Structure formats: structure tokens, C-alpha cells
């Protein structure tokens, strides 16, 4: 996630370490050949590649003129953009030639001539903006800047179809100046030299009309442009509303803006605010949860529907036409819906449907013809897999907060379907990143993989998670390694009391903030977990904040300084250190795996290096895997596969579940076992290669 979040939970790799039973000695199932394992098991192993390899196709889109479809699909194992005639998908061809890192996100230019995307180098997040010409096949770097410069796509508009508004921090690493770039030629024009704003909001003419300015100790001011280079205060967002109030976009006349707004309420409402005087009208709200998504008519720019996500996504119509559309789709699709792209006339749209047991399927919806055509399934190889239900639950924290959580159980463990196993099973507490993010219902590859290996999986929306109102978000202020962690322990205790699992059968795993939570778990509450998996997690809040990228500086006051502390303040620095796992290394009692992307700009390699060094000095069991071509998480499928392959042996040793042999899952990976290679089941220390067991 951009901005102040650590990032999204992405990969969980662990391995057998001293202190756990050796999987080679623990059971015949874990030592057997693949065929023997499956014959002895009550349900077949789902191959790791089917879960964590590249999807067959993903991210379906339709061009604004309706003539083309696009999606991401592999070319020689790397995700690239494919384009096909809308009338004949078999004409699909790749229009990009990425060879190392897959394309993560793409969308169409308003004139339907180009597909735009961002790409960085080795996960360093210094993205460039690229445009692929669908006719000529030319791919143009629209931002040919230096290695240390980051580019962002700020806006496109059908009013200026051959233009894109881009932010570049080339002049000042902390600030993004705005440039208007002609997509067809690459010509750049400076629009605004940033005087110190966190960000800009452009209208439909690509003119920056609003800007966000952080004010020390008092939240954020929304500034309004006078059209001549001057800015004046238009609207104030109090400090308690900064993470829950955002400008969505302008109305057709560019005189009003839609805002997801938590001011003067708890959960975020959708409001319509006058640019002239700031008068606000509530369009939609829900007392349970924030407005999570909206549908905007591409012709009128009117919001026609909105979504709320409490335990599952719920769509609500604001117009008769939208009501008819939702009723039509609900009658034909069982999963949670999202609307991804549409034609400029608003007639056709790409709809995505997903459920826990049904990985995403993309459909082309024609509103006039009332047709719904299946485009593709994301992972057709899982069509016959024994995927498991995800059960939303509400857990009460020790101080009375409701923690919306999700449980997935192993196949065959819940014969009556009540969401509880007949007998307690080993469990993995899977902690989301952010922390300003959330867990949600749907197909979750990590949940399904762990459940298939024999574990219950519990994901908890601890305080600070977004989507449940500003009181819930702000309850995390000053609570890193405090009440935020208490919420996780309370959820584990609930699972034990509910007989989902038993004491002594729980592991903790997470990426980014989830990695920090893992380290807190094995240091602050060392008796609660049997092992831990930390992926790109910070070991010290002090060095974490001190090493943030320079372009985070404009919003640190309202986020990290507010929630965690400012290391420049001596008292706060001491408190930050005391809330850091590095301060309690001596308390670690269980095996730990640490995974790191060498180019990570958010949680730098220092965070893993210093913790591994401290553990090594005490001869504590830790294995450290570094990936030289990765950043904040593992984008390359070869790296994911190596990490997950190692994970299974570790969890089998700690909790007794099943694992699929490593086989050739190290092939093509850049993995470096920096420390503790002797603990990797199936890894030849002398050659540095997987042994194939």
C-alpha cells in the first residue's frame, strides 16, 4: 500500500529449527514420497504452484471505446499486459515485454490507444510510468528520470484523453511536483512546483484544484487553488480524522467534490461538498463500517452505488438504474462483487466476483443488452481443489472492542459446518500488514494453503485496522506492542476457548506490520507461540522511522509520529525502543524465520540484519533468507515458491502438519540463506541448493 502503511501481507516462509521436532522423524506422512503422502492423507495436497505461482490471467479491463479487452498473463513466467479484440478474445497478444518483474497494475488511457502501467527496479519502489501503444507495440517510458526518482500517476481524464498527470520527486526527494505528460509523444510540462503539500487533487480538466497540507499537531488542511499559483485554506481535517477522510473526486461541473468523510461522525460517510463554501451533504453512511468503495457514472460523474465492508462486501444503489444492475448481478453471481473498469458511455463494465472457495472470476456486463459473459477465471487449476469456507467471526477484546476476524479450517475437521472443528487442531495466527489496512472475506491463498496443510488459520482486525470507523483506528495510538498486540492474544485465547486449537499448538506469521507483530509475539509474549515467521518486519521502531523514504516526510506527523513517536524526541525515542522486539531478544524461546527483500525502501534490510546479529550472539535458533532482487515482499513467483517451500517443513516440525517436498521450488529463485542454513529441511548447505527432498 502507498503512503504510511508498511504494506500488504504477502509471503510466509519458515523452516525447521532447533527446539521443534524434526519433520523427518515426526511422522511417516511428512517423510514419504508425494504419492505416498496423498494416499495416506484424508485429502490431497494442493500443489504450491497452483496457489502461489502466477495466475493464469488476472486484472481484466475493457477499453473506454469498448473495442478491446486487456488483462495480465505470464510471458515466459513474467506477468505482462495482453490485449485482445473485444469481439474475439482469441486475438490476444502481449503488448509489453517485461522480463524480470511482472506488471502489477495496468489501466487504459482515456483515448483507448495506450495501456499505462508502473514499474520499478528490483522492488525499490522508484517507479517509472510506461505507456504501451496497442497498435504499434511500442512501449514508452514517460518518465525517463534517474534511479533515485519516483513517479506517481495522479490523474487521467476523458476531457484530456492524450494526457496524464504525473508526480515526480526529482527536484526534491520529499516532494512530488506535478507534470502534464502527452502520452503519444512523451512531452512533459511542469504544472505545479510543490511548495510542501502531501498531495494534490485534480479536476476533470487535469487542473490541480485542491492540495493537502500537513499541519504539525493539528491534522491536515485541504487547500484550494486560485488558478494563478496561490492557495488558500478550504477545509480542515482534524488529526483524529486524517486516516479516515479522503477526497474521492469532482462532480461533472468541477464545483463539488465527493469525500469519504469521518468528521463529526465515527464511521466514514460519503459526502458531497461544495467547493465554494464547504457545505456538505451526506450521500450515504453505515453505522457499522466505513464506506469502502463507490461506483461513479463515467458520463455524469454521479456516484450511483456504494459498498460497505463489515464482515463481507455489501453494495447499495443510489439510483434506480444501479438498483436494477445490482439485482441482475446478485441473481447470477454468488461471490462478493467489485466493479473494475467500464466503457466511456457507461454501457459495459468488467465485474469481478470472488468467494473464499472461488478464486476471482471476471465477467463482461452489458447493461443495455442485459448480458453477463464470463471473461476468465484467475486460477482455473483450483477448480477441483478442496478449498475451504472462510468464517467471519466477532471476537471481543479485553477492553470491549469488537474485532472482526476470519477463520479457515482444515478439510474434514468441521463435519457439521458450524465453523468449529470437532477436535482442536494446530493453528496459525496470520497477521495483516499496514497496520492501516484490514483483513477481509474472500479467496485468500495463504488461508487455503495453510488449511490444506492441516492448520486452522485465524486473521484478526486488531485495533488500528481500517474500515471500522475512526475510534477503532485511533485506539491504536501509542499501542504498538501494547493493546494492538493484546487484541491478537485475546483472539488466540478465544480460539483456544472455542476449541478451535489448543495451547501449545499456535504459530504466528505475518508480513510488514504482521512481521513486527510476529517479532513482538515471540519477544513480549514468548509463551504464546511455538514458532514465528517474520517477513520484512521491523525489529526496531526507532531505526524503522529513521530510515523511511524521504517522500514519506510530508505525512509522518499525522501518521507515524502520532501513532508510534518521533525518534528525534529523546523521551519518545526511549519509548519506541522499549516497544521494539530488538529490546527483548533475550526473551525469545522459539524458532524464528526472517525473510527480507534487499531493496525494501519501507522496512530496510537493517531491520533484519540487526535482529539476526543479536540472536546469533545468543545462539538463538533463527534462519535468515534474503532476496537481492526484491523489495517490500516477494513479487517474483520463483522467490515466492522458494519461500513457501521452506515454510512447510518449518510448520510441520513446529505444529505437526503436512508438507509438500521442496522439489525444484528453489529453481530460478535469488534466495540467499544468510544465516541458519543448517536448519532448512531439504537444503544442501555445502552447495547452497535445494536437495530435492
Query: What pLDDT sits at residue 31?
Result: 32
Q: Do residues 666 and 690 touch, judged by C-beta distance below 8 A?
A: yes
Query: Given a cut of 50, is residue 455 above it in pLDDT?
Result: yes
Which residues are bridge partners to 486 per DSSP?
A: none
Is the confidence at residue 25, as pLDDT, over 60?
no
Locate cell 526496531: which residue?
Answer: 540
Cell match 526484491: residue? 630
pLDDT at 39 over 50: no
Q: Per-residue pLDDT for 557 more than 70?
A: yes
Instruction: Give the whole-angstrom CA distance, residue 581 versus residue 549.
Output: 22
Predicted pLDDT at 395: 98
Q: How far apart are CA 196 and CA 385, in angstroms?
A: 52
pTM of the model: 0.92
For residue 5, pLDDT over 50 is answered with no
Q: Is the pLDDT of residue 20 over 90?
A: no
CA 324 – CA 261 distance, rounded (Å)? 27
Tell me whether residue 106 is one of the annotated catalytic residues. Answer: no
Helix (H, G, I), strand (E, B) or coil at 336: strand
CA distance 635 to 100: 10
Average pLDDT over residues 574-583: 98
| Secondary element (H or E) of residue 560 | helix 560-563
Number of other residues whose CB lies within 10 A of the CB of residue 148: 11
In this predicted structure, what is the pLDDT of residue 237?
A: 95
Q: How confident is the model at residue 105, as a pLDDT?
A: 96
| 8-state DSSP, 80 | E
Distance of alpha carbon 536 from alpha carbon 125, whole angstroms: 15
Q: Which of 672, 607, 622 is nearest to 642 (CA)?
A: 672
Q: Inform me whether the pLDDT recorded for 567 exceeds 50.
A: yes
Of the candidate ranges 1-10, 58-67, 241-250, 665-674, the one whose mean pLDDT is the lowest: 1-10
Q: Which residues contact 12 (CB under 8 A, 6 or more apart)?
A: 430, 446, 450, 509, 510, 511, 533, 535, 643, 644, 647
Q: Average of pLDDT values for 317-336?
A: 97
Inter-CA distances, 470 with 96, 164, 242, 281, Å: 42, 33, 9, 20
Is 88 a residue of the active site?
no
Taking residues 62-75, report their average pLDDT: 98
For residues 335 and 339, give the distance between their C-alpha atoms in angstroms, rounded to a whole number: 13
Q: What is the mean pLDDT of the chain?
A: 91
443 pLDDT above the threshold of 80:
yes
The alpha carbons of the chain give a radius of gyration, in whole angstroms, of 25
Kindly name the residue from 600, 642, 669, 675 that is annotated as catalytic: 600
7 vs 18: CA distance, rounded Å:
31
pLDDT at 647: 82
Give the span between the Cα atoms of 152 and 168, in whole angstroms.
7
pLDDT one-digit tens code per residue, 395-434 = 999 999 999 999 999 999 999 999 999 999 999 999 999 9
Catalogue all structural domains in the chain, each as residue range(s) with its CATH number.
Answer: 23-48+383-690 (3.40.50.1820), 57-187 (2.120.10.30)
Average pLDDT in the 354-370 region?
96
Distance CA 213, CA 456 (A): 45
The reported pLDDT for the residue numbered 649 is 82
Rounded percentage of the chain residues whose pLDDT exceeds 90:
86
Q: How many Å apart are CA 584 and CA 344, to the nearest integer?
A: 57
Cell numbers at residue 454, please? 492441516
The 10 Å CB-count burial string (b at 16+, else e) for 6-35 is bbbbbbbbbbbbebbeebeeebebbbbeee
DSSP 8-state code for residue 631: B
Do 640 and 11 contact (CB within 8 A), yes or no?
A: yes
CA distances from 539 to 43, 130, 471, 581, 594 (A): 38, 36, 27, 5, 11
The reply to whether 632 belongs to the active site is yes
**How would you label 61-71 residue by residue, b for 16+ Cβ within 10 Å and e otherwise?**
bbbbebebbbb
Task: Pull the grid cell for residue 580.
Answer: 521494539
Q: Of residues 112, 292, 512, 642, which has the active-site annotation?
A: 512
Measured in whole angstroms, the distance separating CA 179 from the mean position of its chain's CA atoms is 28
Q: Could you tell me which residues come within 8 angstroms of residue 645 by beta carbon, excluding any fewer than 6 positions away?
A: 13, 48, 660, 662, 663, 665, 666, 682, 690
Cα torsion 335, 341, 343, 345: sign: positive
* Cβ-based neighbour number of residue 270 at 10 Å: 21
Confidence of residue 645 (pLDDT cuts 50, 70, 90): confident
- What is the mean pLDDT of the segment spanning 7-21? 26
pLDDT in tens, 469-525: 999 999 999 999 999 999 999 999 999 999 999 999 999 999 999 999 999 999 999
pLDDT at residue 3 above 50?
A: no
Query: For residue 265, what are the CA distances in angstroms to 261, 290, 436, 471, 574?
Result: 8, 11, 19, 10, 35
pLDDT at 156: 96
Closest CA to 653 of 531, 548, 537: 531
CB 419 within 8 A of CB 409: yes
Q: Could you tell me which of 233, 229, 406 has the C-alpha nearest to residue 309?
A: 406
Give the pLDDT confidence score for residue 676 in this predicted structure.
84
Q: Catalytic residue among 120, 632, 642, 675, which? A: 632
Share of the chain above pLDDT 70, in %: 92
Residues 6+ apart with CB under 8 A from 630: 122, 123, 597, 598, 599, 600, 636, 639, 670
Confidence band for 650, pLDDT divided at 50, 70 and 90: confident
Paired sense of beta strands 506-511 and 456-460, if any: unpaired
* Model confidence pLDDT, tens digit, residues 119-173: 999 999 999 999 999 999 999 999 999 989 999 999 999 999 999 999 999 999 9
User: CA angle, corner 223, sides to 220 and 224, nearest 5?
Assistant: 160
Amino acid at each position: 500500500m502507498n503512503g504510511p502503511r508498511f504494506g500488504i501481507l504477502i509471503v510466509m516462509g519458515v523452516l525447521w529449527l532447533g527446539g521443534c521436532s524434526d519433520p523427518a522423524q515426526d511422522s511417516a506422512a511428512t517423510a514419504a514420497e508425494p504419492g505416498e503422502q496423498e494416499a495416506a492423507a484424508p485429502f490431497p495436497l494442493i500443489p504450491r504452484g497452483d496457489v502461489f505461482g502466477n495466475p493464469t490471467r488476472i486484472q481484466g479491463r475493457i477499453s473506454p471505446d469498448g473495442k478491446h479487452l486487456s488483462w495480465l498473463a505470464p510471458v515466459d513466467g513474467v506477468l505482462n499486459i495482453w490485449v485482445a479484440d473485444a469481439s474475439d478474445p482469441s486475438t490476444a497478444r502481449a503488448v509489453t515485454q517485461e522480463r524480470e518483474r511482472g506488471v502489477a497494475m495496468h489501466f487504459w488511457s482515456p483515448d483507448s490507444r495506450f495501456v499505462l502501467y508502473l514499474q520499478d527496479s528490483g522492488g525499490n519502489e522508484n517507479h517509472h510510468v510506461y505507456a504501451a501503444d496497442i497498435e504499434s507495440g511500442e512501449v514508452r517510458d514517460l518518465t525517463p528520470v534517474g534511479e533515485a526518482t519516483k513517479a506517481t500517476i495522479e490523474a487521467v481524464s476523458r476531457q484530456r484523453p492524450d494526457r496524464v498527470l504525473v508526480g515526480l520527486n526529482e527536484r526534491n526527494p520529499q516532494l512530488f511536483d506535478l507534470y502534464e505528460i502527452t502520452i503519444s509523444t512523451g512531452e512533459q510540462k511542469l504544472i505545479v512546483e510543490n511548495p510542501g503539500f502531501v498531495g494534490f487533487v485534480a479536476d476533470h480538466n487535469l487542473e490541480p484544484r485542491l492540495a493537502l497540507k500537513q499541519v504539525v499537531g493539528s491534522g491536515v488542511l485541504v487547500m484550494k487553488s486560485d488558478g494563478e499559483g496561490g492557495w488558500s485554506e478550504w477545509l480542515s481535517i482534524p488529526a483524529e480524522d486524517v486516516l479516515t477522510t479522503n477526497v474521492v473526486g469532482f462532480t461533472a461541473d468541477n464545483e463539488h467534490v465527493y469525500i469519504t468523510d469521518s468528521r463529526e461522525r465515527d464511521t466514514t460517510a460519503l459526502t458531497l461538498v461544495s467547493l465554494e463554501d464547504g457545505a456538505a451533504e451526506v450521500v450515504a453512511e453505515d453505522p457499522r463500517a466505513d464506506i469502502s468503495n463507490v461506483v461513479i457514472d463515467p458520463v455524469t460523474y454521479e456516484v450511483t452505488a456504494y459498498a460497505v465492508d463489515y464482515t463481507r462486501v455489501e453494495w447499495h444503489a443510489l439510483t434506480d438504474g444501479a438498483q436494477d444492475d445490482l439485482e441482475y448481478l446478485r441473481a447470477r453471481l454468488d461471490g462478493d462483487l467489485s466493479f473494475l473498469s467500464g466503457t466511456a458511455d457507461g454501457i459495459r463494465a468488467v465485474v469481478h466476483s470472488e468467494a473464499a472457495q472461488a478464486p476471482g472470476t471476471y465477467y463482461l456486463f452489458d447493461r443495455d443488452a442485459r448480458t453477463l459473459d464470463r471473461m476468465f477465471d484467475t486460477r482455473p487449476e483450483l477448480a477441483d481443489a478442496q478449498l475451504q469456507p472462510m468464517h467471519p467471526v466477532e471476537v471481543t477484546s479485553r477492553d470491549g472492542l469488537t474485532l472482526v476476524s476470519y477463520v479457515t479450517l482444515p478439510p474434514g475437521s468441521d463435519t457439521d459446518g458450524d465453523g468449529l472443528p470437532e477436535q482442536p487442531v494446530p493453528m496459525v495466527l496470520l497477521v495483516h500488514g499496514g497496520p492501516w489496512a484490514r483483513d477481509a472475506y474472500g479467496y485468500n491463498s495463504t488461508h487455503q494453503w495453510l488449511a490444506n496443510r492441516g492448520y486452522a488459520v485465524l486473521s484478526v482486525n486488531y485495533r488500528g485496522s481500517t474500515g471500522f470507523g475512526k475510534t477503532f483506528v485511533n485506539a491504536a495510538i501509542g499501542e504498538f506492542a501494547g493493546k494492538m498486540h493484546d487484541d491478537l492474544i485475546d483472539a488466540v485465547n478465544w480460539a483456544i476457548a472455542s476449541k478451535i486449537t489448543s495451547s501449545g499448538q499456535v504459530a504466528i506469521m505475518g508480513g510488514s506490520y504482521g512481521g513486527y507483530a510476529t517479532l513482538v509475539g515471540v519477544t513480549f509474549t514468548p509463551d504464546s507461540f511455538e514458532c514465528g515467521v517474520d517477513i520484512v518486519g521491523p525489529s526496531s521502531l526507532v531505526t524503522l522511522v529513521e530510515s523511511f523514504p524521504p517522500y514519506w516526510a510530508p505525512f509522518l506527523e499525522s501518521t507515524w509520529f502520532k501513532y508510534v513517536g518521533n525518534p528525534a524526541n529523546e523521551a519518545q525515542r526511549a519509548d519506541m525502543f522499549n516497544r521494539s522486539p530488538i529490546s527483548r531478544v533475550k526473551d525469545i524461546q522459539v524458532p524464528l524465520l526472517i525473510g527480507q527483500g534487499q531493496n525494501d525502501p519501507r522496512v530496510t534490510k537493517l531491520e533484519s540484519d540487526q535482529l539476526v546479529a543479536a540472536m546469533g550472539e545468543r545462539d538463538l535458533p533463527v534462519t535468515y533468507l534474503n532476496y537481492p532482487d526484491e523489495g517490500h515482499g516477494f513479487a517474483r513467483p520463483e522467490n515466492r515458491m522458494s519461500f513457501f517451500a521452506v515454510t512447510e517443513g518449518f510448520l510441520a516440525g513446529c505444529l505437526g502438519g503436512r508438507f509438500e517436498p521442496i522439489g525444484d521450488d528453489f529453481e530460478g529463485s535469488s534466495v540467499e540463506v544468510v544465516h541458519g542454513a543448517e536448519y532448512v529441511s531439504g537444503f544442501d548447505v555445502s552447495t547452497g541448493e535445494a536437495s530435492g527432498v
